[in-house]
Structure 1
């Protein structure tokens, strides 16, 4: 009996110490919120009252390896006419976000964030708002190979959702343990929901604009953040880090934004006893090296984005011009058009297509006085055309005349298509014949010099100078 009483006293004492410690921690968080003029409220939550080792299980994300992204960064074009706020829980009066789940005492935030994104993806794609879409996180934990209750990777989980997918929750209800894939229902792959494609919106340099644009274009986004002690006590408002040490990495689902008050709306996986019914708002300012909100943000796409490549990417031509072909490599459903930015580069009408193909072009003879550069644009890719300018030579390069004047000739050598015109710089020299294109002979006359002094002038052809000297009377 004495041992029982002693044991109960010990338990109550430990509970008292724990409660006192939490109360002290909460007071410090509230003081830090006030001191830093933060816009959120801290209070007791279903997570803040948990033992420290259980809290740690909530934040066991393994962040992707930057070396493994393989160019999977989606460049979202600016979306015109963005609203000041967007919430996929109330998008044109319809809800495309499923219920908040609870990962429990298992480091499976990575599975809940990606599964939540899959569920919203299905609601949007099938246009079935408010449907209780509920896919099996346990399949992802037990069968996906992307992680376990000790943590996991959102990129590898996304690969599994693309290649295999998830069945309904009833196939393998969540157990908050690693489980075994053999416990899943038979032939679950045949009824699995899958994404068509996924891509990073941002890796380690996220921006508010990139996330807002992707939210508007693609729907809820998987993202990551670093969690500090104060976050466990978030009750409401716009979270910003104020107090505590780093507890671990966390994966969550961004479902909206608010430009007026500068925050994102986010779905967590800690049940409805935490935050605003399981959701939280986080300030745009938390896209920073400390909290790292928005790092490794992923969008789920209903089709693979069009990626283009061209070969070769440039070509040089002689002065006479010529023709060439560009090979275009692209997905089968992606269209393209070839456009020239220079009048001397000609592309046949209707040059373009869908899927892989070729673009033909021709380059006119360069009749100018120097080399030139132009481009052909195909789906944002640039093909550069360079062409040398005409080269001219004259022979002879000079002649002397007596005061009485006379006539003369000189030869011009150049390419067949190269134009030229002889230009004298003095009125006493008259060109009587000779011009391009092609090689030819310039004929000219020199009038009598009635002055006493010697005079000099030139005839210029294609940048080459023929010198004329005439004695005085």
Structure 2
């Protein structure tokens, strides 16, 4: 059951929804690794409820542009990451949105527009992969430097070149695809301060509400799992409550929609109609430049699984896959690796790993899992090494990816 909370109004008529979040192609899906963890750590206790709104900006309004993914990732997720890290809120002294502490969806969205756009497609929908690519490789700037223009053709405004080095100071770590069906892991991510960006099929009942919502009563949205959805829209999970089995969702249709721009969504409805879901961490400050990767100097590794240790700049070959350690932040339990193969069948390129949280991706028909287990701590930190586990499973399937492919 989907609920608009009491005292709410229906969605403004100008909000777009059809093809707002484009269904990804296979290559786009393969370019993002999946989470390989299937349960929280054994000593972790899930709280009954989580609410991440204190570090979120107030819900904004995407206007008539099909920019919901940029709103979920740049405005919602990136603003949350930076404000949580600095322990500041997003409002100024009089309770209004502080544009210095909120990141611009226009920066990421406008950079995805190109010369092939037509008048009909100029501000059309985007893909998670392309918005993530902007945030990971180029970063993002704050609202005060590049405000969002809600006009229908606002996305045609070019991003000024002087903003590029500014944005580079606010990059995001590489994302991970997570299961839309594993409610326990979704709650776990929220409980460790990781909002979940997702795309979901929606219909006009979700978009406009119903007469009951006009009277201040909760709106029930109970589409059957098999019901086709004519639209696709991206939002952000920012909390949950086990008392009524609902997620707290941040939308981008302004504060007159839902409960001040938020709504609650039943666990079951989310699992049925969410098509993609992702988490991403804030990128670590560069304590030192990423090491140039050397040509592998040791004997290639083979077999279904192995362990290896890498210092920054070292690389190893595992079943024709070259894995190199580009950055290591042992105190933060984070490492950045590059992966490539001779045939170009690996699409992920780079992976930002968290200790104890393995990831998986495809190398052609082989499913590869990489886990960052720990960092050695020698007396000289320059000699620190990342301990990695590598596993290859020919013909195996990634269930999270397979579900996303079914929806594409």
Three-state SS of the structure 2 residue aligned to 1:171 is coil
Identify which of 15, 24, 40 aligns with 1:64.
Answer: 24
Alignment of 1:152-301 (within 5 A): 152-176=126-150, 177-179=152-154, 183-185=158-160, 187-192=162-167, 194-202=170-178, 205-234=180-209, 235=213, 237=218, 240-242=221-223, 246-289=229-272, 292-293=273-274, 295-301=275-281
User: For this pair of structures, how many residues does the alignment match?
Assistant: 289
Alpha-carbon displacement from aligned partner over 1:411-448 (angstroms, at most 9, x marks no partner): xxxxxxxxxxxxxxxxxxxxxxxxxxxxxxxxxxxxxx
Quick one: structure 1 residues 111 and 327, their matched pair in 2 at CA, closer, same or farther if it must change by over 3 Å?
Answer: closer
For residue 101 of structure 1, report the CA deviation from its aligned partner.
0.3
State TM-score, norm by structure 2. 0.60
Name the structure 1 match of 2:328.
Answer: 333
Distance 1:226 1:333 in 2: 39
For residue 239 of structure 1, report the CA deviation from its aligned partner.
5.1
Quick one: structure 1 residues 70 and 191, their matched pair in 2 at CA, closer, same or farther if it must change by over 3 Å?
Answer: closer
Quick one: structure 1 residues 182 and 81, their matched pair in 2 at CA, closer, same or farther if it must change by over 3 Å?
Answer: same
Quick one: structure 1 residues 327 and 276, their matched pair in 2 at CA, closer, same or farther if it must change by over 3 Å?
Answer: closer
Contact 1:254 1:265 in 2 (8 A): yes
Three-state SS of the structure 2 residue aligned to 1:122 is helix
For residue 179 of structure 1, report the CA deviation from its aligned partner.
3.9
Name the structure 2 match of 1:113.
Answer: 72
Contact 2:138 2:171 in 1 (8 A): no
Identify which of 91, 105, 108 aligns with 1:137.
Answer: 105
2:286 paired with 1:312:
no
Stretches of 4+ moved more than 6 A in 1? Answer: 41-44, 334-337, 354-359
Structure 1: which 5+ runs fail to align?
1-36, 90-94, 305-309, 316-324, 338-350, 360-377, 384-473
State TM-score, norm by structure 1. 0.52
Query: Higher relative contact order at CA 8 Å, sep ≥6: structure 1 or structure 2?
Result: 2
For residue 226 of structure 1, report the CA deviation from its aligned partner.
0.6
Three-state SS of the structure 2 residue aligned to 1:246 is coil
Structure 2: which 5+ runs fail to align?
92-97, 115-120, 285-298, 311-323, 334-354, 356-373, 393-408
Structural RMSD (CA): 4.0
For residue 124 of structure 1, report the CA deviation from its aligned partner.
1.4
Alignment of 1:448-467 (within 5 A): none
Name the structure 2 match of 1:85.
Answer: 49
Distance 1:44 1:59 in 2: 26
Name the structure 1 match of 2:59.
Answer: 100
Distance 1:142 1:379 in 2: 38
Alignment of 1:46-57 (within 5 A): 47=11, 50=13, 54=14, 56-57=16-17
